[in-house]
């Protein structure tokens, strides 16, 4: 990712030097009104590296799916279900950390970097507290799975996966805090570096821990003694990679600090924490609602048998990978909208938001075309077995349809977050996914006998409603007066 704040002042691994600010990256000023083309280029300077880093995160999940697919359908189903449940529980914490997004970007937009550094420390305390609580909640999840029809051996393997994956939760939330700070300052290169390194390590350790080292050549020495751990190995690998990424980005932040800078308070500040919690709680509920409905879909798919669950996991893995484009554009849009609000430039905030919407929809339309034209080859690349392939192909076709709307709602959540408006996104997700989407999922998947394909159609319709609602909301809010959160 492009690590420059402006004039490449913040390079990964280099000492801090006073930034020479550039209008292409830094918060816009009211006297500078970029055209659509200039705004698009500025958005892409943030969005592309963010999307690369996010794609790297999704790629690790896809690699896990491919590795577990070759380990067997049962292990793939268990790891897929465990991964979905992990993110269903951790999703609230992920959203809670997003309460820092508008605070950080608006602080940078107001040229108050010392305030941003102080918020970074408060984010660390918030990550520790939320991560520890959610870690404990993970241990009670497996007890609920038999009620959803999940039986052995998927049940015991899913339990193992969650137990061994849970230590990564507070580490992941801390990484998100540092990622938000780096993104708000446009110092994004460390995110790319951490993602690239983690992907290399993920591939090697995933294969080693899942299948064991017995088949390695003699020169690998002690690695040949590593036992085949199956789903446990995939979970342990995720913990190691999360810790590695956190270490890299923390090192980058440390190198950004000027030697003579005023050090912010490292103690918890309740005023800052409560403000982040107030903004982040609706975002956390929104993320939990969105991820939760897909986790419920995974549980329902698991109740239909290992083949349905494996097909669901293949489709969700590819969809998660393509969604990284929307996440990149949405996060970049959030930063640019937050910059504009911090600079008290309402017109720029509106322009940044709508350019982000259009860009996200256009890119996701290209992914939709890939899904529609190549569903069979994609399913085979994922290692779909003969009994999984007939289910995976139609699921990828459904994914092609909702790619565009998934992109729009992903961007919408980002630009509204830049405004500090997180409550409406939560309400829209609850109505779209649970009032409309989930009942349709049950109706189409079970009542009408469409199975896992019907489950996905219900999710798709709910997603479409959410996308339209977020566009409407941004248009309404951005047309009025916009004020920074802390003003």
In a domain, 5, yes or no: no
CB within 8 Å of 486: residues ≥ 6 apart: 103, 106, 107, 275
Residue 261's pLDDT band, with cuts at 50, 70 and 90, is low
The CA distance from 288 to 447, in Å, is 26
Per-residue pLDDT at 477 exceeds 80: yes
- Average pLDDT for 443-454: 88
Q: Cα–Cα distances in Å, from 204 out to 67, 103, 239, 299, 453?
A: 11, 38, 14, 30, 34
The 10s digit of each residue's pLDDT in 298-344 is 888 888 888 888 888 888 878 877 887 888 899 889 999 988 888 88
In a domain, 121, yes or no: yes
Residue 260's pLDDT band, with cuts at 50, 70 and 90, is low
Cα 188-189-192 angle, rounded to 5 deg: 100
Q: What is the per-residue pLDDT for 393?
A: 87
Per-residue pLDDT at 18 exceeds 80: no
Per-residue pLDDT at 150 exceeds 50: yes
Query: Token pair of 387, please?
Result: 């009994």
Mean pLDDT is lowest, of 260-264, 274-278, 469-473, for 260-264
Q: What is the per-residue pLDDT for 34?
A: 61
In a domain, 21, yes or no: no
Q: What is the per-residue pLDDT for 148?
A: 66
Structural domain of 306: 36-478
Q: What is the per-residue pLDDT for 35?
A: 75
The CA distance from 351 to 180, in Å, is 22
- Average pLDDT for 63-91: 79
In a domain, 413, yes or no: yes
Per-residue pLDDT at 28 exceeds 50: no
Identify whether the C-beta of residue 424 lies closer than 8 Å to the C-beta of residue 473.
yes
How many domains are there within the chain?
1
Per-residue pLDDT at 295 exceeds 50: yes
Q: What is the per-residue pLDDT for 291?
A: 74
Please give the mean pLDDT across all residues of the chain. 81
Residues in the chain, total: 487
Identify whether the C-beta of residue 325 lies closer than 8 Å to the C-beta of residue 364.
yes
**CA neighbours within 13 Å on the CB side: how many for 218?**
0
Q: What is the per-residue pLDDT for 38?
A: 85
The CA distance from 44 to 1, in Å, is 11
The 10s digit of each residue's pLDDT in 153-169 is 677 888 888 888 888 89
Per-residue pLDDT at 257 exceeds 70: no
The 10s digit of each residue's pLDDT in 80-132 is 788 878 877 888 888 888 888 888 888 888 787 888 888 888 989 999 999 88
In a domain, 312, yes or no: yes
| Top-ranked range on mean pLDDT: pick from 114-118, 245-249, 373-377 | 245-249
Per-residue pLDDT at 9 exceeds 50: no
> What are all long-range contacts of 288-291, with beta carbons under 8 Å and residues at least 24 apart?
288/88, 288/91, 288/92, 288/95, 289/426, 289/429, 289/430, 289/433, 289/434, 290/91, 290/429, 290/433, 291/84, 291/87, 291/88, 291/91
Calculate what percentage of the chain has a pLDDT beyond 70: 90
- Average pLDDT for 199-216: 85
Per-residue pLDDT at 217 exceeds 80: no
In a domain, 349, yes or no: yes
In a domain, 3, yes or no: no
In a domain, 415, yes or no: yes
Q: What is the per-residue pLDDT for 465?
A: 95
Evaluated on CA atoms 461, 464, 469, 470, the torsion sign reads: positive
């Amino acid at each position: 990712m492009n690590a420059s704040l402006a004039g490449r002042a913040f390079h990964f691994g280099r000492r801090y030097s006073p930034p020479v600010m550039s209008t292409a990256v830094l918060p816009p000023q009211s006297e500078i009104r970029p055209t659509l083309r200039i705004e698009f280029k500025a958005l892409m300077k943030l969005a592309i590296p963010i999307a690369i880093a996010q794609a790297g995160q999704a790629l690790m999940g896809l690699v896990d799916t491919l590795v577990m697919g070759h380990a067997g359908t049962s292990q793939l189903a268990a790891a897929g279900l465990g991964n979905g449940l992990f993110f269903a529980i951790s999703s609230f914490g992920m959203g809670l950390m997003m309460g820092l997004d508008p605070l950080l970007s608006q602080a940078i937009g107001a040229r108050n970097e010392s305030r941003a550094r102080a918020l970074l420390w408060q984010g660390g305390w918030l990550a520790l507290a939320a991560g520890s609580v959610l870690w404990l909640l993970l241990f009670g999840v497996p007890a609920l799975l038999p009620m959803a029809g999940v039986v052995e051996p998927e049940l015991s393997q899913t339990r193992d996966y969650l137990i061994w994956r849970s230590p990564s939760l507070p580490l992941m939330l801390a990484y998100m805090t540092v990622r938000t700070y780096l993104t708000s300052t446009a110092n994004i290169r460390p995110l790319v570096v951490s993602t690239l390194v983690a992907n290399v390590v993920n591939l090697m350790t995933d294969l080693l821990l899942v299948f064991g080292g017995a088949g390695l050549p003699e020169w690998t020495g002690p690695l040949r003694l590593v036992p085949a751990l199956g789903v446990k190995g995939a979970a342990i690998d995720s913990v190691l990679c999360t810790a590695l990424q956190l270490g890299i980005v923390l090192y980058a932040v440390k190198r950004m600090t000027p030697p003579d800078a005023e050090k912010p308070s490292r103690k918890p500040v309740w005023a800052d924490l409560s403000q982040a919690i107030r903004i982040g709680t609706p975002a956390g509920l929104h993320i939990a609602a969105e991820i939760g409905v897909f986790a419920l879909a995974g549980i329902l798919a698991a109740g239909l048998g290992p083949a349905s669950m494996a097909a669901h996991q293949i489709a969700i893995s590819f969809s998660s990978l393509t969604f990284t484009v929307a996440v990149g554009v949405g996060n970049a849009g959030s930063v640019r909208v937050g910059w504009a609000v911090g600079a008290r430039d309402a017109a720029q905030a509106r322009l940044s938001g709508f350019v982000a919407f259009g860009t996200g929809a256009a890119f996701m339309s290209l992914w939709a075309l890939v899904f529609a034209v190549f569903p069979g080859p994609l399913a085979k690349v994922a290692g779909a077995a003969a009994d999984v392939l007939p289910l995976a192909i139609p699921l990828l076709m459904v994914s092609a349809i909702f790619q565009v709307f998934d992109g729009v709602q992903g961007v919408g959540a980002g630009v509204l977050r830049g405004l500090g408006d997180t409550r409406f996104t939560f309400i829209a997700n609850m109505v779209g996914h649970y009032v409309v989407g989930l009942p349709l999922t049950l109706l189409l998947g079970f009542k009408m006998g469409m199975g896992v394909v019907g489950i996905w159609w219900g999710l798709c319709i709910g997603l479409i409603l959410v996308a339209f609602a977020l566009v409407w909301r941004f248009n309404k809010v951005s047309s009025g007066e916009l004020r920074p959160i802390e003003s």
